[in-house]
Amino acid sequence: MQNTDENSTSAGASQAITEQQVLIAGGGHVGLSFALLLAHHGIASTVLEKNSYPDLSPDDDKGRSHYLDSRNTALSRRTVQIYQEIGLWNELQSHACRIDAVKISEQGSFGQAQLNKAEEQVESFGQVMENAWLGRKLLLAAKQAPLITLIDNANVIAVEQQSDSVTLSFSYYEGEEHEQQLQASVLVACDGRDSTVRQLLNIDTTTYHYQQTAIVGVVETDRPHEHVAIERFSPAGPLAVLPLTDPEGDGNDEYQQGHRRSVVWVCPTGEEDKYLEDDAHFLATLQQAFGQRAGTFVQAGRRGAYPLTRVLANKQVEGRCVIMGNAAHTLHPVAGQGFNLCMRDAHVLAQMMSRQVLKGEDIGDPSLLKRYEKARLSDQKRVIRFCDAVVHGFTHPNPAVKLARNVALIAFDKLPNIKPLVANYAMGLKS
């Protein structure tokens, strides 16, 4: 069991302004980001992660170890702003690649549309970053934060709530199995789609299986990406090719000649093996689907397959416990909205807890947590509806529906005042 509590971080406050504590179950990207947001507001937290954290040092080699073998995340402008707010973006941006334009089309159809940063007068529509780099920098920042305690190899086994606190029991292995309890004002569960905490609290979920599997990986093309993201819809499902950084150098350099691209390829569940095992078949399939929009696909890295399921917690607050991240809402990856929605949730809850501290009140007050849940429902429902509408709308085989969506794409591209609304929505600036 690792218990880390080192000194100073650019993301943390200089000293605690409250003795109240937050327990965070799940130390992935959302859990660590939430802990850093709390630290920024002077609120201490303990993060429990079931997996083992790697040993990291700020002096470690920062080079990429897998040129074509990485998963990636599209960060919206709002998510970038949140990381800027806590002083972490300067550490992240060297491995981030701007999205300056988004091209949208449907395979075998006439409709197409484009968003351009110059027309929308924005710095970018977001950034694409390798998950490994994001995770490394979040973990380093958390390890250096005096208000964050990290405990890895910890398996949550029980949750008990009292009138003024919550107690979490967990087990860990050091030669033999041990059990330990921690108590805090509030527990926030960021422990993923199959959340243990959610199950212990007897919170049911509403689950929908898309009967699709996402093939995720990195490819290389002969043509530079020029910071353009390509969204393409096929009968099998939505597809995306996103720009990535060069193996070395800043992904936001105007002169970068990046040829690496992140790919999300959606296929019917049961057909994924042929895209995982045969590079030539995978590249040929991409070429057929995208044509020459991205140039010629010349190399593919190792790929992963992820069955797509929408999992929604039927409630996100139970007493002094909050369900957050994929534990609260696991979404289809279309338009890259899932992680960014989680970051907006985390940001709002951290702000509400900070205001509670400044008033000298309880950060785990169930009425406060219920207000958080209510405050976030509108944004969450809008994103969920949007994702499902895109998935079902662009896979519906009816010729009339196909005609309507292509006309809609052209209308979106040509009619004034529509693009800014959609652009702001995609950038996470309307919540």
Q: In terms of Cα–Cα distance, which of 416, 336, 408, 410 is closest to 119? A: 416
d(CA 95, CA 273): 30
Instruction: Tell me the C-alpha distance between 189 and 197, whole Å.
Output: 6
User: What's residue 14's pLDDT?
Assistant: 37
The pLDDT assigned to 319 comes to 98
pLDDT at 51: 93
Rounded to whole angstroms, the Cα distance separating 427 from 422 reads 9
Pairing state between β 297-300 and 205-221: antiparallel
Which CA distances in Å does 5 have to 21, 146, 149, 217, 424? 15, 6, 5, 35, 39
**Cα–Cα distance, 85 to 66 (Å, whole number):** 30
On whether the CB atoms of residues 32 and 139 are closer than 8 A, the answer is: yes
Question: Looking at the whole model, is its pTM more than 0.85?
Answer: yes
- Report DSSP state, residue 234: E
**How far is 212 from 305, CA to CA, in rounded Å?**
10
Distance CA 210, CA 391 (A): 9
- The verdict on domain 3-58+66-426 having CATH code 3.50.50.60 is yes
CA dihedral 254, 257, 262, 263 (to 10 degrees): 120
**Distance between CA 331 and CA 361 in Å, rounded?**
34
Q: What is the three-class DSSP state of 421?
A: helix
**3-class secondary-structure state, position 283:** helix
Joined together, the tokens standing for residue 151 give 């405990």
Q: Where are the alpha helices (DSSP H) in 186-301?
A: 196-200, 272-277, 279-290
Asked whether the beta carbons of 364 and 165 are under 8 A apart, the reply is yes
Spatial distance between the Cα atoms of 314 and 299, rounded to a whole number of angstroms: 43
CB 186 within 8 A of CB 23: yes
Per-residue pLDDT at 408: 58
Along the 431 residues of the chain, how does pLDDT read in single tens digits? 655 444 333 333 434 456 789 999 999 999 999 999 999 999 999 999 999 998 887 776 555 444 555 688 999 999 999 999 999 999 888 889 999 998 888 776 666 777 788 777 778 888 999 888 899 999 999 999 999 999 999 999 999 999 999 999 999 988 788 999 999 999 999 999 999 999 999 999 999 998 989 999 999 999 999 999 998 877 767 788 999 987 655 555 554 568 899 999 888 999 999 999 999 999 999 999 889 999 999 999 989 999 999 999 999 999 999 999 999 999 988 767 899 999 999 999 999 999 999 999 999 999 999 999 999 999 999 888 878 777 765 555 556 655 565 555 555 556 666 655 555 555 555 65
Nearest-5° angle of CA 334, CA 379, CA 305? Answer: 25
